[in-house]
Structure 1
């Protein structure tokens, strides 16, 4: 391994080059990883790629770690320079004597964004010409932009995840992954202080970019431009990842050969929460084999992939439509299968919000509509998008609505299944139907499972509290309660009840995505 400092657009990017055992004596396809998290954290991954015959380039993005100027630190502006810097890096790689000209851009989370915009371009740079674009992309749990990761598609602000990321990485050249947890240990009510915009003051260090997070325009340019891409894509995600919807949208819209690999994983692509060991994948072997097929041009020009069905050892094939069984409707007014326990009327009080980190129910608090299904008489396989339809009213013009779905086993143990949000700004007492998307589900619910359906006005601290005053939740300092009414007639939970057979199962998911 050797380190070079690549001059790019007024900066010098610290770049580690790992060559296969044959070294410079031969030309190799190259893997490019551009990361804000420290190129040293990818050493083992780079060595594994090199052992499989790839030259590997791992680079700190502009303003981070080794790519930050000494003496006069260069400000890191997340998402600002990645398309142009990525194109320059790909061009440089192709000019090296050890390169055979083929380049695979690889990344997870923010680094997946870096890999993708090397093909699609971003707000500051158009799509690069072929000489400066990679020949294939592996994008895992992609975090696609400042505004895209700060808010749900409903517009609701993600608080805990964004506070943790910016505390750890924002406006600094290095990282401290424990920053938020350490501060919360000393000040447990840190995230409850208002306004949200002044969080950096309470963290104890400046974050000049924090306010801009909430004002950045949401354009989804990577997804919008995905249709013109012609290079192969491998999109990797988890059903418990907050950005799963973007992974699926990217795969569906990609213009070149596209493969999808989704398991019962969180953002770190580990089992979080729930069982996942039975769906373990040898990631290095999978990525390398797919990259070889992509570089050799042997992938069929289709959009397909595999999804793990949690609760079983099975993987199932999917195409760009995503298989969907019949939508099973749990109507709130059908007491043969759903019981309203309480809360057809409740108060959403931002001073006492429903907690996202606590599945317990306090029977003395009227802060949600609570429903419970009858126990399942047979296993239920869920594969596809879930949603809820609400006929509901609020006494405040601006209101957030959360639907949380929880599985209860025969002993009453609770496990989260899905959560979705919607935001309304309609006139008071308007009870038109409201749709709440609950994301993509892929799991088996065993016999005896009951589903608990909760309709709430807050989901804190995962999401910022709606103040119910009509003010921006990021800058608001006043809070007001909002009385809610959920009409059981016209309200329903819609689940993708798939009719799966063993013939649908995939014996080897790696074979499926690498052909």
Structure 2
């Protein structure tokens, strides 16, 4: 069912007291109606703010982490903390704890009766110690949570919040089950770094090598050493990502050895072994140990953590009493995008932003969660359906004033995810390029293509973030633009027409559709005579062979809009995609090379979605072997990952006949 707004009844509409609002809550629920977010009781803005900056919190090994504490303050006595105890909200970040956004959010909660602790992660900004990507976060998060929960000004209830790496820091601490952890809002964080988000079914998500250059350039060492800072300001990540492999001591990362160490580790450790099973990387491996606390998992269909967010919800909702809730929008990665109406070049309409639809703002949504579970305010969030998803609609596809294709969509509440009413339906690759639910009956049908690692398929949109590098800044304003704000994405993100342009990295004139390349194999349905909703996890099963001992296979689900006055050539909108490194087809921990000519089965988990394919549209699947610079191109040689000495061209084949029925599996939902 859709999310509807209900107005208060006339005799309570003008009452503003807490008691009157509680009566309204009870009345709405007694009559079986869903309360609108604007009528929920909530913490009032009744305090000032006092901040204690650079409080050095000791960790178990003696390293001290710099933490800013924001306290509720008395309004009638300047410079005094409000009396009493308050719940604490913990935020741990590698991105500088004192940004304007962090400060504004901290003050928002402090004025409403929360203490907020924002901490620089180990080895970042003003914290002591050495930064190592993700693996330091479980113990540091646990120790910080317990310090905050045992202070005399704390009620003993600690909540956590944050996006991306700030979500990883939450889950890392939660698997150690700190006693004072009481509630969490995790926005866009990982599950298993090897399976998706750092590596991806064996391939490398190059965004984290780009992220390494940013981390080194903002390290405490670079802050202290102008020459080191200048070296990284003159470095462009894409130059190095285009000249793989990275070699120890031969890139600018060698100027900051601790960064080089973790970057080379995640790049060259291709097997899913003990390294990747650390709780900082592999949250999914420790689901059973995770703290059983109220947990709101937030994500989106075009986020770089879509698969991880959905896997976390499915696993934890089954294991924990929580409650565990899921919120999935249509936006791209980040905490600011949740209040936008678009994802890349696709306009999803005024219903999508959190602001005005689900709450006043995204931080206001957090307030409702924390009010319920850290302050026991009966605001009804525990009585809501546990799942809210944004269904990307079948809009008319006109071009908006901003130049985006209009898709539209709406929010819908659900009792579970995946949906019980969804039917997993295979769509088989047909001879001649068709795509249909019926299994092919012919024999010996296959399509081959030539994959050259030196000429990979360019990345156009998709579920990616942090694949960025600094951009030139005019000398006249250079001093006023912080280094962290000089970064822009190397590739387009979110929903995009799968056609190259002069802005597409790696593309060359005449800027053709990706489907026109001879290394992209296309299968598509006939134009649909009725709308089709696809909601849930996706997967593909490919029967493949190759002339090379190792190679990659990519799968992309595309919604093909028919030609229109605004788009005379139609519009091929990417919905979901994935990559798979063939050597890991049987066991991610034990690679096996391929024998030329043999046919192998590859099962590829893809990012989930919720999208309606409209009348006249086609459902399309694109198969290839590369997607650069999102993923590292496989050199096809079978050499140790990240240490190859050369590359070769591979002839890769996808089989699609009665014996080898390659297909994509789509969860189809009846349209009411």
1:425-504 to structure 2, matched below 5 A, reads 425=583, 426-489=594-657, 490-501=661-672
Q: 1:402 to 1:199 in 2, by over 3 A?
A: farther
Which residue of structure 1 aligns with residue 416 of structure 2?
319
Structure 1 window deviating more from structure 2 (200-209 vs 30-39): it is 200-209
Contact 2:195–2:202, Cα closer than 8 Å, also in 1:
no
Contact 1:400–1:457, Cα closer than 8 Å, also in 2:
yes
Residues in 2 aligned to 1:238 and 1:192: alpha-carbon distance in whole angstroms: 29
Residues in 2 aligned to 1:420 and 1:192: alpha-carbon distance in whole angstroms: 21
Contact 1:324–1:383, Cα closer than 8 Å, also in 2:
no
Residues in 1 aligned to 2:413 and 2:419: alpha-carbon distance in whole angstroms: 10
Alignment counterpart, residue 549 of structure 2, candidates 397, 401, 405: 397
Corresponding residue SS for 2:633? coil
Alignment counterpart, residue 226 of structure 1, candidates 269, 287, 290: 287
What TM-score does the superposition give when structure 1 sets the normalisation length? 0.85
Contact 1:148–1:218, Cα closer than 8 Å, also in 2:
no
Shift, 1:280, TM fit: 1.1
Shift, 1:268, TM fit: 0.9
Residues in 1 aligned to 2:446 and 2:456: alpha-carbon distance in whole angstroms: 15
Shift, 1:301, TM fit: 10
Shift, 1:289, TM fit: 0.7
Residue 279 in 1 paired to residue 279 in 2?
no
Corresponding residue SS for 1:278? coil
What TM-score does the superposition give when structure 2 sets the normalisation length? 0.66
Residues in 1 aligned to 2:446 and 2:582: alpha-carbon distance in whole angstroms: 20
Residue 246 in 1 paired to residue 317 in 2?
no
Alignment counterpart, residue 212 of structure 2, candidates 166, 186, 204: 166
Residues in 1 aligned to 2:240 and 2:618: alpha-carbon distance in whole angstroms: 35
RMSD: 3.2
Which residue of structure 2 aligns with residue 155 of structure 1?
202
Contact 1:168–1:178, Cα closer than 8 Å, also in 2:
no
Q: 1:301 to 1:447 in 2, by over 3 A?
A: closer
Greater Rg, structure 1 or structure 2?
2
Shift, 1:479, TM fit: 0.4
Runs of 4+ deviating beyond 6 Å? 175-182
Which residue of structure 2 aligns with residue 330 of structure 1?
427
Contact 2:542–2:601, Cα closer than 8 Å, also in 1:
yes
Alignment counterpart, residue 356 of structure 1, candidates 459, 467, 473: 459
Contact 1:140–1:237, Cα closer than 8 Å, also in 2:
yes
Corresponding residue SS for 2:454? coil
Contact 2:446–2:655, Cα closer than 8 Å, also in 1:
no
Which residue of structure 1 aligns with residue 72 of structure 2?
20
Which residue of structure 1 aligns with residue 398 of structure 2?
none
Contact 1:196–1:473, Cα closer than 8 Å, also in 2:
no
Q: 1:178 to 1:149 in 2, by over 3 A?
A: farther
Residue 60 in 1 paired to residue 120 in 2?
yes
Alignment counterpart, residue 241 of structure 2, candidates 179, 188, 191: 191
Contact 1:343–1:370, Cα closer than 8 Å, also in 2:
no
Residues in 1 aligned to 2:648 and 2:311: alpha-carbon distance in whole angstroms: 36
Residues in 1 aligned to 2:105 and 2:230: alpha-carbon distance in whole angstroms: 23
Contact 1:393–1:429, Cα closer than 8 Å, also in 2:
yes
Q: 1:26 to 1:182 in 2, by over 3 A?
A: same
Structure 1 window deviating more from structure 2 (211-220 vs 43-52): it is 211-220
1:13-92 to structure 2, matched below 5 A, reads 13-22=65-74, 23-41=81-99, 42-68=102-128, 74-92=129-147
Shift, 1:362, TM fit: 6.0
Residues in 1 aligned to 2:315 and 2:246: alpha-carbon distance in whole angstroms: 35
Residues in 2 aligned to 1:89 and 1:249: alpha-carbon distance in whole angstroms: 27
Contact 2:198–2:208, Cα closer than 8 Å, also in 1:
no
Residue 289 in 1 paired to residue 372 in 2?
no
Deviations along 1:63-86, one digit per CA (max 9) or x if unpaired, are 111214xxxxx4212223322222
Corresponding residue SS for 1:290? helix
Which residue of structure 2 aligns with residue 258 of structure 1?
324
Which residue of structure 1 aligns with residue 63 of structure 2?
11
Which residue of structure 2 aligns with residue 213 of structure 1?
266
Corresponding residue SS for 1:84? helix
Shift, 1:151, TM fit: 4.1
Alignment counterpart, residue 524 of structure 2, candidates 372, 391, 396: 372
Residues in 2 aligned to 1:102 and 1:150: alpha-carbon distance in whole angstroms: 31
Contact 2:391–2:410, Cα closer than 8 Å, also in 1:
yes
Shift, 1:300, TM fit: 5.2
Shift, 1:60, TM fit: 0.9
Which residue of structure 1 aligns with residue 579 of structure 2?
421
Residues in 2 aligned to 1:310 and 1:244: alpha-carbon distance in whole angstroms: 15
Q: 1:405 to 1:147 in 2, by over 3 A?
A: closer
Residue 98 in 1 paired to residue 159 in 2?
no
When the two structures are aligned, how many residues end up with a matched partner? 484
Contact 1:49–1:284, Cα closer than 8 Å, also in 2:
no
